[in-house]
Structure 1
Amino acid sequence: MSGATRAAAAPRLYDRTSELAAVAALSARAAEGSGGVLLVTAGPGTGRTALLDRAVRDCAIRAHRVGAPHGNRVPWSGVRALVSALAPTPSAARRAVRVARGPEGVAGALAVLRPGEPLLLCVDDHHLWDAHSRTALDAVWRAGPVPWAWVVSFAEHHRPPDVPGARLLRLGRLGRQGADALLDDVCRTPLPPSVRARLLDEAAGHPGVLTAMAAHLSTAGPAAAPPYAAGGVEAVRGADDAVLSEVFRGLLESLPAECVRVLTLVAIAGEPDPAVSGPGSVRPVGADAVLAAARAVRASPEALDRLVAYGLLRGTREALRFVEPLLRRAVLGTVPPSRRRDLRALLAPSVSPASPGSPALSAPQVLPAAPAAPAPSVSPALSAPQALPAPPASPAPPAPPASSAPQALPAPPASPAPAGGEAPVFARASVDVVRGRAELERGLAALADGPAGDAHQVLLLAASLLREGAPEEAADARFLAMEAAWAAGDPEACATALGGDSAQRPGTDGCADAAERDFRDGMCAALAVRLHEARAPLTRVVARDGAADEPRRLLRAGAAALVLGDMTTAVRVHARVLAKVRAEGRTALLPRVLEHLAYAELRAGRHERAAAHAREGLRTAERTGQRNAAAHQLAVLALAASVSGDRSAVTEHAGRALRTARPHGLVQAITLAEWSLARAELADGLAAQAAARLAPLVGRGPRSGHFALRMLVVPCFVEAACAAGRAADARGAAEDFAVWAGLGIDPQAPAQLARCRALLAGAEDSAHWYGEAVRHHEETGNDFERARTLLAYGKWLRRRRRPVEARGPLSDALVTFERAAAGVWADQARAELRATGGAVGGTALAPPDAVGGLTPQQQRIAGLVAAGATNREIADRLSLSPRTIDHHLRNVFARLGVRSRVELSGLLARAARDAQGPGG
């Protein structure tokens, strides 16, 4: 980790006046206590670090630059370096790191170290920082206005940090005058005008290239005889590609190996035939030709898509080109002449024939067509998947390594052409398998305890490395990458992990078997909401893999059943996985299996069973250090507790889940935890607060909930919004839910939709919709949701002075809630039933200590009622509406099991006497 508090010497910058002015303005705001974030991006060698060094040098307040980590990115290494630079002693630095890793985060650590002091903090190469530090810093920047000035640099082919309101600066090339001045700075000896002009033309305003070329000229020969002395201008041309390779080496080493191979193919395919084109020209490159050759060099079609997404390649399918022409020459500079000939022959259909007089080269003469399996020259132990060590049924997470973030991997070095020309170019199956297994272990560690987005990327890399030499392990990696993306709430990343954007021919798509192909096709269709296309392949997966003995296949079948909405099968399949894993003693896999089973049971309405399995999963996850799995289990426990009415348990479980889920980007756990808090608030009569909490979860945008849970939350939001007077919001959500229910993928949706329409309808239509809801519930097996509908229907009937009709649904709801241990809902049903004059099974009033379970607002209202105040008088005193007072009072009656103001007064009086004790 590199860092600087003040640059040793002021770096000379040219053509960066506006950028330095932006940094100065930000520093001035920080001195006044407002601060902010400035993002700086550029390509390799364009001066990001120099700009930050100059900012530190010129700043009037305390300033510090922390650079990117070197080698392995150890978790929290970036934060550790940042706070160490600001701490007066090593012990203070250690304490600050502990604060930064806790709930207070980096902001708390900075406030402890430098309370009230303005700071300029320069974060260099943010994309290369460890994942934990990046996540912690992103949380500080997204939290709102910050009292410090942050200047954050990152490579232009990486996505910028998500910082609302941050200004983004892109460093461009130098003008001719600026480049000329820079050349004067970096040259040790004066240059002849012709050589100087050549360097300026070759560099094209790129400061890194210009500096490297000048340094190369200064060190290429004796000072008395500079390299251009004899050869003139032409003497500097031969070094250009090598110099460019040095400048762009960091970028090329940070890319996945298969991306570098595809870049090499595009660069060579664009080389002109000297007999046809002039020097310096570039041929148009067709994507089809590159993709056809990519498989022979062990590169997947997805690598080309990633290069376009990174912004390194651009153009149409018929004419690809490098966005940075100098990068093309840098890539060519890394390829020996013999390798260029082999690759040009591989691209023969798209490259012009060699010039006259040269022996014609055809692909079959130099390289056989790439087979589906590794070529014969590869060791048999590597070419036959059955000879590899059998992959685990579902890879068990190992002990977390030093880093849980994806590492930058250099492209494999070019090896000499094999004798006889029979092996494919870059034939490195053995190396790829070894590296792939290492990346798979790292991905599993990140999936267990790290940001989900990082786990997704590492597992994708593992899948690409294992694809040829170990296809079944590659299938495991793809499934785990999909799980990471699913936990992060990113449907596009899920499809990418499954290979849904592949356009390869059937049978050559990298799938290990037909079941994996069906799973990929079905899940991708479901993610794109093409459910009519998803049913058939996912049904085949459930039938085929649901009868298997391997845990990994059973997990795949269980996931397919969940997507199909078949909760009975999902619970059965996951229970079978659990039995299998327990029998084999695979403790490390238990938390994941229990997490899936608990979630399936929640969807089936079996809350007590879900809680039991979640508690076991939580104990196992904590014992094996899998904090992400623990967060999911805690979210399930919170949702189950919101059914039983244990508000303190909901708050505790949800809070613990969110402390891990938010920094690790576990959107699924976040959504479940927030949903549980809202359900508890709704049960306590805090409808407005519940509706406000649920509104983002059911909407669209950056604060929205998990894509697979959004529609499941809508019925709860509609109920809360109707009670809070937000009928327009509830109606909009119900319309979206109607579309979802029409897809037929959720068996509970038709009944819940009818209940939503009943809540929103007028007096004439509500009875019809409640009847429809009850009828639909009879066709499904979720008794809890059926009881919720019966309770709502009974309340509606009683408020329309139809108490005799209300007793039937209310009695049915009460029995069902009691059977499901849904205490808070049973209390509501009991109070409503008592208000109709119906029997409630001899249930006595709540004990006096139950008063302490009321919210502070409910306790105030209950006390005023006991004192004899009317609803209007209470509303005036508390600045609320009489309708709100009536709503709170109904919930007080339900919670305490009373049916009149007289009973409430008596209960409060007994509670007061008990509080005073015997001598009171």
Structure 2
Amino acid sequence: MAADGVGTSLPSAPGAATARALPAGSPVLFGRSEELAVLTGLVDAARSDAADSNGDRQGGAAVLVEGEAGIGKTALVTAVEQHARQAGFRVLRCTGLQGSNTVGFDGLHELLHPLLPYVAALPDRQRTALLTAFAVEEGPVPDRLLVSTAALGLLEEAASRRPVLVLAEDMQWTDRSSAEVLDFIGLRLSNAPIVVIATARTGHDVHVTLPCSFPRFDLGPLGADAAETLLATLADTLPRPLSDTARRRILTEAGGNPLALHELPAALAATGVAGTSLSSRLPTTRRLEQAFLDQLSAVPVASRAFLVLAAVADDAALQDVMAAARTMDLGLDDLEPLEVRGLLRTDFASLHFRHPLLRSAVIGNASAAELAAAHRALASVARDETRAAWHRASATFERDETIAADLEAVARRAEQRGARPEAVRAYERAATLSQGVVGRARRLGRAAETARAAGMTSEAIELLAQVDSLAGDAQTVTETAVTRTVLSLTTGSVGAPPLEMDRVRSVLAGPEHADRLVEVLWAAALVVRGRNRPRAEWHALESELRTIPSTSPLKPVALALLTPLGAAPAARANLPHLVPQLLASPLGMASLAIAAESLQDLETALTCWELAYERAHELGAVADETQALRGRATILLLRGRVRDAVADAEYAARMAGDSQIPLVAGIAHGTLARAYALLGDVEAARRAIRDSSSRSTGGRLALSSADARWAAGLIALGQHRYRDALVEFTHMAVHPTRALWAIADRTEAAVHGGRPETVTEDLAEAEAVASGFHSAHLTSLVLRSRALLAPADEAEHYWSRAIEAGQLSESPIELARTRLLFGEWLRRERRVVEAREHLRDALGEFDAAGTPVFAARAAAELRAAGEVPLRDTTERPTTSNPLTPQELQIARLAADGMSNREIADRIYLSHRTVSTHLYKLFPKLGVTSRTGLTEALAANGYAD
């Protein structure tokens, strides 16, 4: 037995002698005392935590019990279940089913169905998302993060009444949508007494990558003594005693597998000691399957047909299975031999196999004709459209457009419920059955986009490659181009196939496709800019775009992305007019915001990011919402709202991580690094730089690289390592817009590092851009740079103009930095009275922005100029225990009058998690309730 993995660590297992006794009525376990003690220990810890009234809870735990088929996973968790019930736990259970074809979230629905009476306690959006996923209500397509947050909230609601044990068996067969939600839940159990125990089969016959990050608990074979004791107990129930030879053979071949110890004696009786069913050349699972099949040798032919029918029926109701059996001329008489032999049992609602491995063996041993007959029979009686469509597809071995259309409808229904992994599977199968190439390409294209949205990056890449091999129509070519773009810019995937522009042009030739071609080129523009492709690609796209007669709003956006100077000044003036045309699309708004940044229109950029965020939040499009938050953080940072920028970037990084969008998480961490560098928190900045790099494993975007370099340069600049700073700032050239915004920082590093000549050319370019776009912000940075480079008799002219431009730029922190540098210059020129005015103003701005390092520097300069600051601003008036970015975000929303549930809906947390955050932040701000939060935030230096 071993445990490893990510998340809550498992307690050490006590020795077998100290393992607790099983409750009365529990299944008898042999040789599992240590394993049982570990798992019941998790239950006991959660129970103790639930009884703790001091509010400082550690929460629950999650673990994945892994082992080969028949190793005793179910018996072990059943014993844990009985222990938990005696301890007062509520037990919730779901079980995966091999080969099950669902619309998605079936496992989650099975698990949470008993808790649906509590659903009214959830925040509105979360409740709607969960009920839509369960097809109980119709609502907007729910995002996985919203469904996951709702499911966690529902469990927390139940756990507020009594502790909860979640048992998720056979995770390798649980529908992927449910498995992803369970993984999300298992990693966020710090606020409630909830224990999640999942089981999964390992072995050569399981080809599933589990979306599970729980600590692993490997359940190995029984020891020799325990295996002998179990076999001796079982031998007493056999019709005749086992010989010593048979006993030794069974113990050897079973290899400590409890199910093998149960089943091999029967197989031995059927085939003899030398029978092939006990061949040691087969893995344990195969030997067990063969042992089951040997027991079927005496079963009548009709009963074997009934067994195949039951095996492919998923979890269909008994009445449906019997109705399907009648269409095959089968009935109760054929079921009876299976019940007598203990192969099947019925509870008058459904049929159950003695063990899942028996079901696997039956399916694996059945012929294609037998399986097809069973599926046709089930399709003929199925009352559910999804089940019927899948059974018809499983019975079909030729292309069939009618069945393909039925499966496409299944995929659309799954998408509507937010079950994207299941939709991908349905689209893929529909494509396989499609009769025409165009239809096949269209369905594969939809599968690729759905896979991308589901975070199934490798699957999306493979599907795009398949689409490329087919002759798709104009719509498919356009849609797959956008899919590739978003895939490249959000996951960093280097495996996404490149745009084959010649083929695209041939499909989109003609004036009727002009807007579609513009959309493809707009997508390409986002990629070449985001990945800083060679300039030849930029110019080629620009030239082609200018020749297309299209009024699409994406055309000026794409041109602005590719050639900002060439697009000025008319393009800049036109940007605000494009907003209403792109408002419905978060991605369109995001691209417009990036174009506005490129054209130095920060006001329009901020408007677009905010509108993109609101629209994405309204649609439940978390990936777009995350990107918009990251973008807004950038503009807030430029405007000196550093702590607001930290809150947005931290939120974006958390959501991107939760939604498996690594590259966006990397970009958000880059923004965080720059913010922390401005705040003077060097360790936090360096940590964010590392996080940015580690989350960009698929190929870093120019944006995240530039932000990380900028942050590293600011750190070096603050530590007077000017040559190091200059190196970092110089490498920012990979992102032209960021390089422009950092021109004053680079110039400062170059001047103090003795390399002023290195900025001459880039400063001239920045000056041209600032002039061409009439940008007060960039103009102020250029003039500050000129002042730093100018001889003493010319510098004051530039300093004064830089301050004038800064006053128009709505960037108080940059204005303050200009005043600080000018004040230092004036003091060196022995003009201390004039210096004091600028240093005093700079100190006030730095203090208001919450940048203590800059404030300390300004205060020191002010003292050197002969004036003592009114108060020591080197220490900000915050508490000794500052708010985290998430606490600040929650505090501000609460101060705005939002309830816990409204806050939870806004920032994708459960309402009980919000309550916990408020409980922790109130003392930090010196308040006991929401009353006075606004004043407390201002008093502690967190004014908005």
TM-score, normalised via structure 2 length: 0.54
1:265-664 correspondence runs (5 A): 335=368, 401-407=416-422, 428-430=433-435, 453-454=455-456, 457=459, 461=463, 464=466, 468=470, 470-492=472-494, 495-496=495-496, 498=498, 539-544=539-544, 547-548=547-548, 566-567=563-564, 588=584, 590-618=585-613, 620-621=615-616, 626-646=621-641, 650=645, 660-664=655-659
User: Which of 22, 47, 63 is equivalent to 1:38?
Assistant: 63
Change (3 A) 1:437 1:524: same
Q: Deviations over 1:850-880 (max 9, x none)?
A: 89946497999899999x9968995999999
In the alignment, structure 1 segments of 5+ residues that lack a partner are 1-5, 228-238, 251-325, 340-376, 389-396, 416-425, 501-505, 881-914, 916-920
Aligned with 1:709: secondary structure?
A: helix
Change (3 A) 1:12 1:808: farther
What residue is the counterpart of 2:707 in the other structure? 713
Change (3 A) 1:407 1:879: closer
What residue is the counterpart of 1:200 in the other structure? 278
Q: Deviations over 1:407-457 (max 9, x none)?
A: 177799999xxxxxxxxxx9833388668757766876887xxx6515885
User: Which of 172, 184, 199 is equivalent to 1:138?
Assistant: 184
- Conserved 8 A contact 2:148-2:185: no
CA distance in 2, matches of 1:454, 1:411: 15
CA distance in 2, matches of 1:382, 1:113: 42
CA distance in 1, matches of 2:759, 2:297: 86
Q: Deviations over 1:152-184 (max 9, x none)?
A: 4457534444748x3363879996135896357
What residue is the counterpart of 2:207 in the other structure? 157
CA distance in 2, matches of 1:109, 1:470: 44
Q: Deviations over 1:70-108 (max 9, x none)?
A: 754556x76666566579967668999759959987666
Q: Deviations over 1:232-263 (max 9, x none)?
A: xxxxxxx99x999998999xxxxxxxxxxxxx
What residue is the counterpart of 1:423 in the other structure? none
CA distance in 2, matches of 1:581, 1:754: 29
CA distance in 2, matches of 1:595, 1:524: 10
CA distance in 2, matches of 1:511, 1:43: 53
* Cα distance, 1:124 vs structure 2: 3.8
- Conserved 8 A contact 1:797-1:803: no
Counterpart code for 2:64 = L
Change (3 A) 1:11 1:736: farther
CA distance in 1, matches of 2:686, 2:825: 32
CA distance in 1, matches of 2:427, 2:616: 37
Aligned with 1:406: secondary structure?
A: helix
- Aligned-residue Cα RMSD (Å) equals 7.0
1:731-880 correspondence runs (5 A): 731=724, 741=733, 746-747=735-736, 763=752, 765-769=754-758, 771=760, 774-775=763-764, 777-778=766-767, 787=779, 790=782, 793=785, 804-830=793-819, 832-833=821-822, 836=825, 853=848, 855=850
What residue is the counterpart of 1:67 in the other structure? 95
Counterpart code for 1:56 = E
Q: Deviations over 1:610-656 (max 9, x none)?
A: 22333444455456554543443343333223223345864675577
CA distance in 2, matches of 1:49, 1:712: 52
Q: Deviations over 1:871-911 (max 9, x none)?
A: 8995999999xxxxxxxxxxxxxxxxxxxxxxxxxxxxxxx
* Cα distance, 1:711 vs structure 2: 1.7
Matched, 1:123 2:194: no
CA distance in 2, matches of 1:586, 1:753: 30
The percentage of aligned residue pairs carrying the same residue is 16
Which range moves more in the overlay, 103-112 or 480-489?
A: 103-112
CA distance in 2, matches of 1:172, 1:249: 32
CA distance in 1, matches of 2:710, 2:419: 37
Change (3 A) 1:572 1:626: farther
Change (3 A) 1:111 1:21: same
Counterpart code for 2:254 = Q
- Conserved 8 A contact 2:267-2:291: no
Q: Deviations over 1:1-31 (max 9, x none)?
A: xxxxx99997788998987676466557656
Which range moves more in the overlay, 640-649 or 66-75?
A: 66-75
What residue is the counterpart of 1:169 in the other structure? 218
In the alignment of these two chains, the number of paired residues is 698
Change (3 A) 1:535 1:215: same
* Cα distance, 1:113 vs structure 2: 3.5
CA distance in 2, matches of 1:475, 1:103: 33
Q: Deviations over 1:775-808 (max 9, x none)?
A: 453465686785575476478679xxx8655424
Counterpart code for 1:814 = I
1:94-109 correspondence runs (5 A): none
* Cα distance, 1:401 vs structure 2: 0.4
- Conserved 8 A contact 1:601-1:609: yes
Aligned with 1:66: secondary structure?
A: strand
Which range moves more in the overlay, 754-763 or 615-624?
A: 754-763
CA distance in 1, matches of 2:462, 2:660: 18
Counterpart code for 1:807 = E
CA distance in 2, matches of 1:472, 1:785: 43
What residue is the counterpart of 2:328 in the other structure? none
* Cα distance, 1:596 vs structure 2: 1.1
1:677-696 correspondence runs (5 A): 686=680, 688=682, 691-692=685-686, 694-696=688-690
- Conserved 8 A contact 1:489-1:667: yes
Between 1 and 2, higher relative CO (CA 8 Å, sep ≥ 6) is seen in 2
- Conserved 8 A contact 2:442-2:472: no
CA distance in 2, matches of 1:619, 1:122: 38
User: Which of 214, 218, 221 is equivalent to 2:292?
Assistant: 214
* Cα distance, 1:479 vs structure 2: 2.7
Q: Deviations over 1:198-218 (max 9, x none)?
A: 333399344487358626844
Counterpart code for 1:204 = L
In the alignment, structure 2 segments of 5+ residues that lack a partner are 1-21, 50-57, 131-144, 223-250, 315-358, 373-397, 406-411, 510-516, 879-938, 940-944
Counterpart code for 1:712 = A
Change (3 A) 1:776 1:548: closer
* Cα distance, 1:717 vs structure 2: 0.2
What residue is the counterpart of 1:888 in the other structure? none
